[in-house]
Chain A
């Protein structure tokens, strides 16, 4: 075997191994959340749409006065999403059906492997050990990649200030409550205990136990247990989740799995490739000097 063939084989073989490794090696060891992470279980069968959680969030987070009062039920006419002025909203579904309406509280779900965090190139986001996904406005450059990346359309953008771009979303009351072990304001205010606060691992057990004890009340699924690698907010529902506004097409792989392979190759490309190709270049140059023309090599190869 001639040197050129050997080098070709090395290159092809090396690339194959490298690619093979990206599929398994880097994708493996996915993060299942911090063991002591807290969470909230939302039982949509209990919610009565009183919007107390929205009011409590507004006061706790010092948000601006709402467009219309928190006991105005006309807001249920439209499907709202969280904004920079309202970190949580309650929407109504199946309004004219028996057993309806079903209310769903929407806020940041605090993913185990957040897409916002993955997409942020200045590391403005942090997943804390308590389970909250928090945000540092000091380093944010206002690119809004996180808003595009979030599979739940959660982060809101504060357009009020041009010079100080701020993305705003639920932080699980991290600064004022979660850090010291207290439940978020929305959980504490909820009259129906539609929101249950606790360790995420315990809440999953509680959720499945509720389904077991009341199979006629719930569909047998805990939304957020596995979706996108798991979220700190978990949901129980009386009907199929896609009928009450949930995206059931997201799958169970965290968003980061889509880019892990690619991003895992970046260090390899930056460190190995220059050395490898310099080597190849030097060898081929040496080759050319030693043996003259390509035609000779071709003949030798035969």
Chain B
């Protein structure tokens, strides 16, 4: 078993831990900041400024889909979620599995013939696509790996960063 398996599993257990609640917390506590990638092995944990994103975006549903905020407008989602009530769990990991391709997850998906969301993203994919997707679209915010989470020593070894900029050996590897 390669050692980085555990690193990946660690990296997968992303979301929400160190949380400071605003003074005016209402029914559901809304965190101001969330530590992401907390158990990351290749990349360091980092703080996500939730409060700033609330200020900038204002619309909770842009990230949280139909679980909170105003109702969704996506025509595909509206078919079922037009009148969906806000859900109790709104965190990413509440819906997005950290092991989307495990034998258990795949088996459960196959067994449930009624399930519509067969293509639901895993936690890691949902977070990266959510962040990078929006940042790219808005032309604002980090999109590179290390702009959010710098590499750890272990990560540097994983990506063989010591060899950066080395010239590929001529006359080998191709054809």
Contact = CB atoms under 8 A, between A and B. Distances in A.
A199 B110 contact: yes
Interface in A172-191: 176, 180-183, 185, 187-191
A202 interface: yes
A27 to B, nearest CB: 33
A192 B8 contact: no
Determine the interface band of chain B, counting residues with CB < 8 A from chain A.
35 or more
Contacts of B158: 55, 59, 70
A75 B160 CA distance: 14
B20 interface: no
Interface string B156-175: 00111111111111001111
A68 B159 contact: no
B169 A67 contact: yes
B121 A193 contact: yes
A188 B101 contact: yes
Interface string A82-112: 0101100000000000000000000000000
Contacts of B122: 193
Contacts of B126: 193
B31 interface: no
B132 interface: yes
A260 interface: no
A183 B119 CA distance: 16
Contact of A72 (B125, B165, B174): B165
Contacts of B1: 176
A66 B118 contact: no
Contact of A183 (B101, B145, B167): B101
Contact of B132 (A48, A81, A182): A48
B129 A193 contact: yes
Contacts of B143: 48
Contacts of B125: 46, 190-193
A72 B164 contact: yes
Contacts of B167: 67-68
Interface string B1-33: 110100010000000000000000000000000
Contact of A69 (B100, B103, B106, B164): B164
Q: Which of A74, A81, A192, A206 has the most CB of B within 10 A?
A: A192
A80 B158 CA distance: 21
Given A183-B101, A202-B118, A71 B164 contact: yes
A192 B124 CA distance: 7
Interface string B88-120: 000000000000111100100110000000110
A65 interface: yes
B164 A189 contact: no
A59 B2 contact: yes
A48 B165 CA distance: 20
Given A59-B2, A81-B174, A71 B102 contact: no
12 contacts: A59-B158, A67-B167, A67-B168, A67-B169, A67-B173, A68-B166, A69-B159, A159-B172, A176-B2, A183-B101, A191-B125, A199-B106
Interface of B: 1-2, 4, 8, 76, 100-103, 106, 109-110, 118-119, 121-122, 124-126, 128-129, 132, 143, 145, 158-169, 172-175
Interface of A: 46, 48, 50, 55-56, 58-60, 65-72, 74-75, 80-81, 83, 85-86, 159, 176, 180-183, 185, 187-193, 196-199, 202, 205-206, 209-210, 213
Given A65-B163, A71-B164, A192-B132, 12 more contacts: A48-B132, A56-B4, A66-B160, A66-B163, A67-B168, A69-B160, A70-B159, A74-B165, A183-B102, A192-B125, A193-B128, A199-B110
